[in-house]
C-alpha cells in the first residue's frame, strides 16, 4: 500500500512539475509549482523527515511562492514578452530529455555512495531532528545561512526596483 501511495504522489509531482513548464499563464505555473512542493513534502514525510516536510511547506510553498507571485504581478509580463521567448522551448525540451536520460542511467548503473555522517540514527531518536539541525545550522553552517538570507533580501529589492516605473 505504501508503494502504491509513493507512486501516486510521484506521478502527481511529475505531472505538476510538467505543468509548471507547460502553462502559458505564469500564475497557473506558480500554482503548479506549489503542488509540486506539497508532493515533495509528502515524500519527506514518507522518508520519516517531518521537520524537512514542515520546512518545505512553510518556506517553499509559503514564503518563496508568495515572493514569486508578487514578482510576477509586479513585473506584469504581457503576451508580447511570452511570444519573444517561444523559440527556446524546443531546445530546452531536448536538453531536458538528455539530462533525464543521463539521470536514469546514473541511477540504474550507480551504487550507493556509502558516505556516512557523524549523526547516527540513535542520536536522532534521542535528541531529535530539529535540535540537531539547529545545532548544525547555527554553528557549522552559519555563514551559508546568512548568505542565503542576504541573497533573498537582494532579490526582493531587485524585484521592487524592476517594478518601479520611474527611477
The number of helix segments (H) and strand segments (E) in the chain equals 9, 0
Classify residue 60 as left (phi > 0), alpha (psi -120 to 50) or beta.
alpha
pLDDT at res. 143: 93
pLDDT at res. 160: 82
In a domain, 36, yes or no: yes
Same domain, 1 and 75: yes
Going by C-alpha positions, the residue among 26, 111, 41, 121 that lies closest to residue 76 is 26
Which residue is listed with cell 555512495? 113
Query: Are 13 and 43 contacting, i.e. CB atoms less than 8 angstroms apart?
Result: yes
Number of domains comprising the chain: 2
CATH code where residue 29 lies: 1.20.120.1200
- 25 three-state secondary structure: coil
Q: Mind listing the pLDDT tens digit of every residue in the chain (167 residues)?
A: 888 999 999 999 999 999 988 887 777 888 888 899 999 999 999 988 888 888 888 888 888 888 777 777 777 666 655 566 666 667 778 888 898 888 888 777 766 555 667 777 788 788 888 888 888 888 888 999 899 999 989 988 888 887 776 65
Amino acid at each position: 500500500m505504501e508503494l502504491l501511495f509513493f507512486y501516486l504522489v510521484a506521478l502527481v509531482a511529475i505531472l505538476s512539475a510538467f505543468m509548471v513548464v507547460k502553462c502559458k499563464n505564469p500564475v497557473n505555473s506558480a500554482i503548479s509549482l506549489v503542488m509540486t512542493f506539497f508532493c515533495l513534502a509528502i515524500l519527506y514525510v514518507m522518508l520519516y523527515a517531518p521537520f524537512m516536510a514542515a520546512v518545505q511547506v512553510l518556506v517553499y510553498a509559503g514564503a518563496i511562492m508568495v515572493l514569486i507571485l508578487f514578482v510576477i504581478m509586479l513585473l506584469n509580463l504581457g503576451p508580447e514578452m511570452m511570444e519573444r521567448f517561444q523559440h527556446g522551448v524546443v531546445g530546452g525540451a531536448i536538453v531536458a530529455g538528455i539530462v533525464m536520460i543521463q539521470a536514469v542511467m546514473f541511477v540504474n548503473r550507480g551504487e550507493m555512495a556509502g558516505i556516512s555522517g557523524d549523526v547516527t540514527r540513535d542520536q536522532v531518536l534521542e535528541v531529535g531532528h530539529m535540535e540537531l539541525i539547529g545545532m548544525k545550522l547555527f554553528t557549522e553552517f552559519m555563514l551559508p545561512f546568512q548568505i542565503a538570507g542576504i541573497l533573498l533580501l537582494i532579490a526582493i529589492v531587485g524585484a521592487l526596483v524592476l517594478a518601479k516605473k520611474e527611477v
